[in-house]
Chains A and B, each alone.
Chain A
Amino acid sequence: MTLILITVISICVASGILLLLSREVFKMVMGLAVLGSAANLVVFSGGRPGSLVPAVIEQGSQALVANAASPLPQALVLTAIVIGFALLCFALILAAAVVNQQGKTDVAGFQENEPSAPAGQKAEPDKPPVMEVES
C-alpha cells in the first residue's frame, strides 16, 4: 500500500511540476491542481494507510488495538480537498479572466504589472520621463 502511494505521489509531483513549468496559463493551473492532489496524498499517507482495523475501541476494552488506522489524516485530507477545490475553481476563472483581458495565454507575456522600463534611467531630475500607465 505504501509503495503504491509513494509511486502515485511521485508521478503526481513529476507531472505537476512539468505542467507548472509550461508557459501556457491553463496548463500551469492544472499543474497546481495535480500538485495539490500529491500534497493530499502525502497527508493521507501519514496515517498508517495499509491498516484495515477501524479506529474504534472495542466494548469492554480500554485502549485502541495496536495497528488501527488513524482517522485524523483522513479528516485533514477532506478539509484540504475542499479548500483546494474551491481555490482551483477560483484559479480557473481567474486564468480565464486574464486570458480574456490580455488576449494571450503565454505566461511570460503577462507584463502589465512590471515596471515598463528600468527605473534607474533617471537622467535629469527636472524632466520626468513618461512611464508606466497608471490606473
Chain B
Amino acid sequence: MSLLWPFLLPIATSLLSVFLKGRLLTGINLLSSFALLILAMQLLFEVVSTGSVSVVFGDWPVPYGIEFYADGLSALLVLLIALVSAVVMVFMVSWEKTAETPSYFALMQCLVASVIAVSLAADLFNLYVWFELMLIAVLGLMVAGKGSRHTEAALKYFAVSMIGTLIMLSAIGMIHGAAGHLNFNALSQIAASDDAGNSLSLYGGMLLLAVLLKIGAFPLFAWLPAAYHALPAPMLALVGGLLTKIAVYVLMRISGQVLDYQLFHEAIGWLAVITMLSGVLGAAYHWDLRRILSFHIVSQVGFLMLGLALASPAGMTGTAFFLFHNILVKANLFLIAGMVWMTAGHYDLRKIGGLYPSKQLLTIIFLLSALSLVGVPPTSGFWGKLLIIMETFTQERYLWAAAALITGMLTLYSMSKIWVEGFWKPHPGEPINTSIPVSIYVVMLLLSAIILLMGLIPGPLIDFLQQQQWPQSNQGGVL
C-alpha cells in the first residue's frame, strides 16, 4: 500500500480542495504536501530495504494485471517531486496573488498526483492515462489566469500535446496488437526475443516520437517556451521543473529498459545534440526571465537525452544524477524568477535591475542555482555533466562531447546575462521593492541547501544510483 499512497493522497486533497475556501483550503493543502513528503520518504526507505516494491490490482497475475512498480530510481524521483511540490506549496500560500484564484490548489494537487503516478506506472496504457491527467491539470493551471494571453497559451499547448497524445495512444494500440502485452517487463522480454521484435521496433519508434514531443526535443520544442511563460512563477516552478523531466524519465524507461534498440539510442543522441544547442541559443536570445528559463529547459533536456543515448550503466547513472539535480535547480530558478517579479515588478530583464544591492540573500540563492545550472564545480550540475561527458569520451563520441561542452559555455553566457542585467545594473525605473515573506526565504534556503549538499557530497547519491539495476544494453535489434 505504501506504493499507492503517494498519489492517492494528492488526488484526495485535490478533490477536497474544490469544496474548501480560505484558511482551511491553504491549511489542508500545506498539511497534505508535508504528509506527502513523509509518505515519499517511507516509500524510499522501503525500496532501499527490499530492493523494489510492486502492487498489482485485482489479484491478476503480473503481466495481465495493472501494475505499479517502484525501484530506487522511481522512489527517489517521487521524493523529489514531493519536495518540490511542498516548496511550491509554501511559496503559493505565502503569495497573496494566489489567494485570488483558489482553483490553483486543486489543479496543483492533481498535477502532483499524476506526475507521481507516471513515475510509478509499470504498463504503457496506465502511463497514457496519467499523462492525460497531467495534460488536463496543466491546461487548467494555464486558463486559471483568465486573461486572453492565458487562454491563447492553453489552446496552443492543447493542440500540440493532443497530437502527441494521439500518436502515443495509436502506438500503444499497435504495440499491444504486436506483442499482446503492455506491461514493461513483459514487453522488454518480447523485445529481446527475435520473433515480434522487428515490428515492435517500428511501433516503439512511434511511441518515442510521442514522448520526445512531450519532452520538447529538437524540432518539436517551440510549444514549450510559448506556453510555459503564461503561467505564474510558482506554478511554472512545478510545471517547468517536473513535466519535461518526467517525460525524460519515461524515455529512460522505454528506451533503456522496455524497447532497447541500438537505432533508438543513435537517433536520440543526434537529436540531443541539436536540442541542446537550439535550446541554449534560444535562451541567449530572449529577455523575458521566464522565456530564458524555459529555453534552458529545452537545452537541459537535450543533455539528459545525450546521457540516455549513451545507453550504458555509467551513462544512465549520470543521466539520473543530472535529472535529480535539474528538477531541484530548475524549480529553484523559476521560484527565484517569481521573487524577482515580486521585488522588481517585472520579468523582462530590460526593465529590472539593482537586485544585488537591495536583496543580498536573493542574490546568493540565485548565484548558487545559476552556477549549478551552468555546471561550475563543486555544484551539483558539475557532477551530472562530468559523469555524462566522461562517458561520451569513453564511448569515443567526441562530437557529442563537444556539443555538450559548447552548450555549457553558452549556458554560462545566458546566466551571466541575467546576473548583469537583473542583479548588477541599476534599476532603470522606480523599483517596487516589496518585501518578500520570510517563509519563502526559509523554503528557498532549504532547497538551495539541498542543491549545495548534492554538489559538495555527491558520493552517496552516485553510489546509490550505480547500485541500480541498469540494463546491459545493445541487443542489436534494428528496423
**How many A-B Cβ pairs are below 8 Å?**
126
Contact B143 A94 (CB under 8 A): yes
Q: Which of A47, A120, A131 makes the CB contact (< 8 A) with B177?
A: A47
**A100 CB → nearest B CB, Å:** 9
Contact B166 A131 (CB under 8 A): no
A87–B153 alpha-carbon span in the complex (Å): 16
**B21 CB–A CB distance under 8 Å:** no
Contact B173 A44 (CB under 8 A): yes
A80–B129 alpha-carbon span in the complex (Å): 8
- Which chain A positions have C-beta within 8 A of B425? 125
**A115 CB–B CB distance under 8 Å:** yes
Interface string of B283-319 (1 = CB under 8 A from A): 0011110010000000000000000000000000000
Contact B348 A113 (CB under 8 A): no
Contact B154 A94 (CB under 8 A): yes
Contact B155 A98 (CB under 8 A): yes
Question: In which size bucket is the chain A interface?
Answer: 35 or more
**A32 CB → nearest B CB, Å:** 5
Contact A46 B347 (CB under 8 A): no
- Which chain A positions have C-beta within 8 A of B136? 86-87, 90
A126–B427 alpha-carbon span in the complex (Å): 10
Contact B166 A94 (CB under 8 A): no
Residue of B nearest to A88 (CB): B162
Contact A73 B173 (CB under 8 A): yes
Contact A32 B163 (CB under 8 A): yes
Contact B139 A128 (CB under 8 A): no
Contact A113 B149 (CB under 8 A): yes
Residue of A nearest to B350 (CB): A128
Contact B152 A83 (CB under 8 A): no
Contact A87 B132 (CB under 8 A): yes
Q: Which of B148, B170, B227 makes the CB contact (< 8 A) with A98?
A: B148
Give 7 pairs: A residue, B residue, CB < 8 Å, sorted on A.
A39-B170, A73-B177, A76-B176, A79-B129, A113-B153, A122-B287, A134-B348
Identify the B interface with A (CB < 8 A): 125, 128-129, 132, 135-136, 139, 143, 145, 147-149, 151-156, 158-159, 162-163, 166-167, 169-170, 172-174, 176-178, 226-227, 229-230, 285-288, 291, 346-348, 350-351, 421, 425, 428
